[in-house]
Amino acid sequence: MSDAPSFTLDGAVVPFAPGQTVLQAALAAGHYIPHLCYHPEFKPHGSCKVCTAEVNGRPVTSCTRPAEQGLEVRSNTPELNELRRTLVQMLFAEGNHFCPSCEKSGNCGLQALGYDLGVTTAGFRHLFPDRPVDASHPDVLLDLNRCILCELCVRASFHVDNKSVFALSGRGIDKHLVVNSASGRLGDTNMAVTDKAASVCPVGAILPKRVGFAVPIGQRRFDVSPVSAQSLADAPRQESRRE
């Protein structure tokens, strides 16, 4: 690994493999950069901006920036962490996220990221949008109050499940998740609870029914260890990329 190309991240040398982004290389090398919409199984697209870092002095989304030899990357700075806190606060204010009563509490990426970044106040006036809850599917609940428009379910349904159950519609404040059926109801699609799209949601927008509290709160994924540790544990390592 000594002859591998590398860049620096907050002063640490980070080796990378061809094709890796800055975020992927950092996680594989054991260096955490906060992120939310990135998922190691999908091509990154930089929608949430939480992973923004300074690369050679310019802000970029580290999940989409290809790693290059000699880059100077800064991530763990007061300014960038404050930006991330603001983005998380905006997501909480824009939707209806009531963590104490949510089935996803302890398994929620947004909640865990808020804890990791030290978000202690809302920061903004809550919008309290009027969004539907779709319980028409026999095995999956769709609660649009908690959707953060990360598009993971859209990509999982299209690229993994080959079904195209979900899509995003509208622009700006009117952008929202839609269901691909004539009625607009999840129960009228061919989605199955075993689909990747049913399990990839980082928040409580898509939930399998009848299993909400099978694992008690306090023993769930992010109750056991913080999102930073979980992300590093989940990151594909360079060794696994070798053929």
181-208 tens-digit pLDDT: 999 999 999 999 999 999 999 999 999 9
Residue 84, domain member (yes or no): no
Q: What is the 3-state secondary structure (H, E, C) of 103-163?
A: CCCCCCHHHHHHHHHCCCCCCCCCCCCCCCEECCCCCEEEEHHHCCCCCHHHHHHHHHCCC
Q: How far, rounded to the nearest angstrom, does the alpha carbon of residue 21 sit from its chain's CA centroid?
A: 16
Per residue in 118-143, pLDDT (tens digit) is 998 888 999 999 999 999 999 999 99
- CATH number of residue 45's parent domain: 3.10.20.740
| Same-domain check for residues 72 and 102 | no
Residue 243, domain member (yes or no): no
Report d(CA 168, CA 143) in Å as an integer. Answer: 15
| Same-domain check for residues 17 and 111 | no
Residue 141, domain member (yes or no): yes
Q: Give the residue from 136, 146, 163, 156 showing the smallest Cα distance to 198.
A: 156
Residue 111, domain member (yes or no): yes
| Same-domain check for residues 18 and 56 | yes
Q: Which domain holds residue 23?
A: 6-76
| Same-domain check for residues 200 and 159 | yes
Q: pLDDT category, 238, cuts 50, 70, 90?
A: low
Residue 62, domain member (yes or no): yes
| Same-domain check for residues 122 and 11 | no
What are the beta bridge partners of residue 142? 134, 206
Q: Give the residue from 233, 231, 240, 241 showing the smallest Cα distance to 35.
A: 231
| Same-domain check for residues 69 and 104 | no
Domain count, the chain: 2
- CATH number of residue 103's parent domain: 3.30.70.20
| Same-domain check for residues 59 and 112 | no
Q: What percent of the chain has pLDDT over 70?
A: 97
Residue 83, domain member (yes or no): no
- Looking at residue 141, its pLDDT comes to 98
| Same-domain check for residues 144 and 42 | no
| Same-domain check for residues 110 and 36 | no
The reported pTM is 0.92
Residue 241, domain member (yes or no): no
- 109-117 and 227-234 helices, crossing angle to 10°: 120
Report d(CA 191, CA 153) in Å as an integer. Answer: 11
